[in-house]
Amino acid sequence: MAETLFLPQAGSKEEIYQALLPQVEALISGEQDLVANLANIAAALREAFGFFWVGFYAVQGQELVLGPFQGPIACTRIAYGRGVCGTAWKEKKTQLVPDVEAFPGHIACSSASKSEIVVPAFKAGEVFLVLDVDSDRLDDFDEVDQRYLEALMGMLEKTRTT
Ligand code: SME
C-alpha cells in the first residue's frame, strides 16, 4: 500500500481506530520483518492520535528491551514484573492506568507522563512483546483504546517475528 495514512479529520476516537486498523493490517501484511512493522505501527499511532509516547518493549530473557517508539527517549530495560510494562508481562493482560502516580512501582521514564496503557502480545501463550502508550494527561485511555489496541496486537501475533 501507499505509505500514507487516511484518517477522518473530525472523527471520534473510535472512528479513527476503525479507519486506522485496516490500514495498519495492510501495511504489515506485506512485510515480514518485525522491527520494520513495529516502527511503522508506532509512527501510525503517533500520527493518528498524537500520543506523548508510543512504542514497544520486546521480551528478551528476564527483561523487556526497548524497541521502536515515537516520543522522548525512554528506559531501555525493564525487569519482569516491574512497572506497568513488566506487570502486563507478568499478569499476561492489559494494564489501564488512569493515574501513573497511583500505580505501585510505576517506572517514570518522563515526569510528563500522567496516564498509560500497556497491551501484551502472545506467541504460544507467552508474552513476547508489549505496546506501551503514555499520555501527558490524566485518565486519557479507556476501554475503546484497550479494545482496538488489543486487536492491533492480535495482528502482530499472526506475523512472523524475524
Ligand atoms: N512507564 C513504564 C515504563 C516505560 S516508559 O513509560 C516509556 C512502566 O512503568 O512500565
Q: What value does the mean pLDDT take over residues 138-148?
A: 98
Which pLDDT band, with edges at 50, 70 and 90, does 30 fall under? confident
The residue whose C-alpha atom lies closest to atom 2 belonging to ligand 1 is 107
Which residue has its alpha carbon closest to ligand 1 atom 6? 109
For residue 1, the model assigns a pLDDT of 52
Contacts of 116 (CB under 8 A, 6+ apart): 84, 95, 97, 100, 103, 106, 132, 133, 134, 135, 141
Name which CATH class applies to 13-159. Answer: alpha beta
Ligand 1 centroid to Cα of residue 84, in Å, is 6
- Separation of CA 157 and ligand 1 centre (Å): 22
> Would you list the domain boundaries of the chain?
13-159
- What's the DSSP call for residue 159? S
Cβ contact 85:78 at 8 Å: yes
Distance in Å, CA 85 to ligand 1 centroid? 6
Q: Give the mean pLDDT of 136-150.
A: 98
